[in-house]
Amino acid sequence: MTGGVVHVTAADGTRSAVDARFGVRLMPELRAARVGVIGMCGGNAACGTCHVYVDEAWQAAVGAVTEDELDMLDELSSSDTRSRLACRITFRAELDGIELTVAPHD
Amino acid sequence: MTERIVVVGASLAGVHAAEELRAGGFLGQLVLLSAENEIPYDRPPLSKAFLAGGLGETELALRPADAYAALGIELWLGAQAAGLDAASRRVRTADGEVLPFDGLVIATGSRPRWPAGLPRLDGMYTLRTAADARALAADFARSPSVAVLGGGFIGAEVAATARKLGLDVTLLEAAPSLMERGLGRELGDVAVGIHRDNGVDVRCGASVVGATGSGRVDGLLLADGSRVAADVVVVGVGNEPVTDWLADSGLELADGVVCDEFCATAVPGIVAAGDVARWRHPRHGLMRTEHHANAVEQGMAAARTLLGAREPFAPVGYVWSDQYEHKIHTLGFRRPGDEARMLAPGLTGFVRDGRLVAAAGIDARRELMRLRGTIDQGGPCPARTG
């Protein structure tokens, strides 16, 4: 199983490099790294607790926001144009080295 | 050294357990047994988008078909576990295969109960599997009148989906309001109003005593002598853990597989997770729960235990449901005697011995989530939040 690195800035500003496997959703990988991603609904875009900001340089690589994800993001006061749910991003080689910031929980 | 781990049950708990075993460094043989004949799928859409026809088969799959082989997981479809000998560490399948194991994850889930005395005629359904959902969707396509028996989460979701499809729906619930076990009476009444506003004939306090029809159902009989006409009946009155295959296993069973706080049974190397597990929650004692997030989390926790971790499984407890445009969420584990306090519009807290132990919200996700830490720590109940 191959993987890469996710550069994460936690909500408190702490930076870390998180190892993540290719082919899996980012949410559980980030949750295991204890950077402030909670992922309470188990990856169903229902709880909004894996909200991250994707660095602008990486947005094209990440791809478009899905519809159920958009519904959830609309509810979050902290969401903006960089917002994604980590449970809706599948990590893959093109995302190796991606820069993310964990959004504050509202 | 552990050589072969068998995971019995390939739904949420089983799949997440298998993945976590690999993530945790297990390099031995890993066999995932599924009683069903299709690749593992997600269940929340079965009562919602998939039932309504708005979600394809591919999107329903939990993982791409090749994801299991990529992780070195042998997915055995159509392999129903029929017996376990815990002492000699062997699982037997209905086809007569015998699988010796070094480690075992029991994740056989739960199955819908059928009310005692209610006949099961054509056109009467429970909703648990993708096959159930396909059959029900096909029947829904014939524009039937629908009666839903049971106003818990699954029944309320099916009623909402049927209305979305334009069907006539009667929702029958024995309790005074809907989803009351999770939401409490006040929000249960709010839910009744939501369903009525959307055109559902909601009948609370209804006691169904029988079904009518010759061969195919044409109605339900109530204790008060009335009859509800229906071409399709969906029954959602609760589930029971799938433990019959464990009857002679030597494991302790008590409405589920009894486990300690690490999801481990009394037999070394055998753990349980998901709907089938009755484990000792560090703060709530021995309990079993049948919800999505728990199956995911507990599958992963049980896998870590099998690999030698000693971390108690102590989830906060989280349930969500989408009905019409409304989002329903609950946190914590509520018991019937807990005192309900309305904290804000659409938000109820449940208090036991002065501590906030659970909360439920309708369209109050943000306010509810703010209570997560308090519920998790059993802190004092806050005053009204809005």
**Extents of the domains making up chain B:** 4-111+240-306, 114-235, 325-377
Distance set, CA A50 to CA A25, B80, B236, B303, B370 (Å): 11, 36, 31, 23, 15
CA distance A105 to chain B (A): 8
Which residue of chain B comes nearest to A78, CA vs CA? B366
Cα separation of B23 and A31, whole Å? 13
Chain B residues contacting A via beta carbons under 8 Å: 12, 19, 22-23, 42, 44, 67, 70-71, 292-293, 295-297, 300, 316, 318, 320, 322, 327, 329, 365-366, 369, 372
Whether the CB-CB separation of B305 and B140 falls below 8 Å is answered with no
- The pLDDT confidence band at residue B59, using thresholds 50, 70 and 90, is confident
CATH topology for B4-111+240-306 is FAD/NAD(P)-binding domain (3.50.50)
CB contact under 8 Å between A77 and B71, yes or no, is no
| Helices vs strands, H then E, count in chain A | 3, 5
A40 touches chain B (CB under 8 A): yes
Q: What is the DSSP letter of A23?
A: T
| pLDDT reported for residue B210 | 96
What is the four-CA torsion angle of A58, A59, A60, A65, rounded to 10 degrees? 150
| More confident position, B273 or B55 | B273
CATH 3.50.50.60 is the classification of domain B114-235: yes
| Average confidence (pLDDT) over B222-234 | 97
What's the token pair of residue B26? 């297990």
Q: Could you tell me what percent of chain B has a pLDDT over 90?
A: 89
A24 touches chain B (CB under 8 A): yes
CB contact under 8 Å between B295 and A75, yes or no, is no
Q: What is the pLDDT of residues A44-66, one digit of tens each?
A: 888 888 999 999 999 999 998 98
Average of per-residue pLDDT values in chain B: 95
- The pLDDT confidence band at residue B299, using thresholds 50, 70 and 90, is very high
Query: Counting every residue, how long is chain B?
Result: 386
| pLDDT reported for residue A3 | 87
| Residue carrying the six token digits 């439920």 | B360
Cα separation of B77 and B40, whole Å? 9
CA distance A27 to chain B (A): 13
Q: What is the pLDDT of residues B170-210, one digit of tens each?
A: 999 999 999 999 999 999 999 999 999 999 999 999 999 99
Q: What is the pLDDT of residues B69-114, one digit of tens each?
A: 988 999 999 999 999 999 999 999 999 999 999 999 999 999 999 9
| pLDDT reported for residue B2 | 57
Distance set, CA B203 to CA B172, B178, B221 (Å): 5, 10, 13
Cα separation of B181 and B336, whole Å? 7
Reduced 3-state DSSP string for chain B: CCCEEEEECCCHHHHHHHHHHHHCCCCCEEEEECCCCCCCECCHHHHCHHHHCCCCHHHHECCCCCHHHHCCEEEECCCCEEEEECCCCEEEECCCCEEECCEEEECCCEEECCCCCCCCCECEECCCCHHHHHHHHHHHCCCCCEEEECCCHHHHHHHHHHHHCCCCEEEEECCCCCCHHHHHHHHHHHHHHHHHHCCCEEEECCCEEEEECCCECCEEEECCCCEEECCEEEECCCEEECCHHHCCCCCCECCCEECCCCCECCCCCEEECHHHEEEEECCCEEECCCCHHHHHHHHHHHHHHHCCCCCCCCCCCEEEEEECCEEEEEEECCCCCCEEEEEECCEEEEEECCEEEEEEEECCHHHHHCCHHHHHHCCECCCCCC
Q: Which of B276, B271, B246 is nearest to B261 (CA)?
A: B271
Q: Which of A50, A101, A47, A54 is nearest to A75 (CA)?
A: A47
Q: Could you tell me what percent of chain B has a pLDDT over 70?
A: 99
| Average confidence (pLDDT) over B317-323 | 94
| pLDDT reported for residue B264 | 98
Angle among Cα B290, B293, B296 to the nearest 5 degrees reads: 95
Whether the CB-CB separation of B126 and B158 falls below 8 Å is answered with no
Distance set, CA A29 to CA A21, A38, B81, B227, B373 (Å): 8, 11, 31, 53, 22
Tell me if residue A14 falls in helix, strand or coil: coil
CB contact under 8 Å between B19 and A24, yes or no, is yes
- Collect all residues of chain B within an 8 Å Cβ-Cβ radius of residue A46: 320, 322, 327, 329
* Residue B67 φ/ψ, nearest 5 degrees: -70, -30
Please name the member of A23, A28, A75 whose beta carbon is closest to the beta carbon of B365: A75
- The pLDDT confidence band at residue B383, using thresholds 50, 70 and 90, is confident
Is the complex ipTM higher than 0.85?
no
| Residue to test with chain B: of A47, A74, A91, most B Cβ within 10 A | A47
| Residue to test with chain B: of A27, A30, A40, most B Cβ within 10 A | A40
A46 touches chain B (CB under 8 A): yes
State the CB neighbour count (10 A cutoff) for residue B297: 24
Q: Which of B110, B60, B143 is nearest to B237 (CA)?
A: B110
Whether the CB-CB separation of B386 and B343 falls below 8 Å is answered with yes
- The pLDDT confidence band at residue A68, using thresholds 50, 70 and 90, is confident
- Collect all residues of chain B within an 8 Å Cβ-Cβ radius of residue A3: none
CB contact under 8 Å between A105 and B19, yes or no, is no
CB contact under 8 Å between B292 and A41, yes or no, is yes
Lowest mean pLDDT among A46-50, B32-36, B164-168, B340-344: A46-50
- Collect all residues of chain B within an 8 Å Cβ-Cβ radius of residue A36: none
CB contact under 8 Å between B365 and A47, yes or no, is yes
Report pTM.
Answer: 0.91
Residue type for position A21: R
Q: What is the pLDDT of residues B111-142, one digit of tens each?
A: 999 999 999 999 999 999 999 999 999 999 99
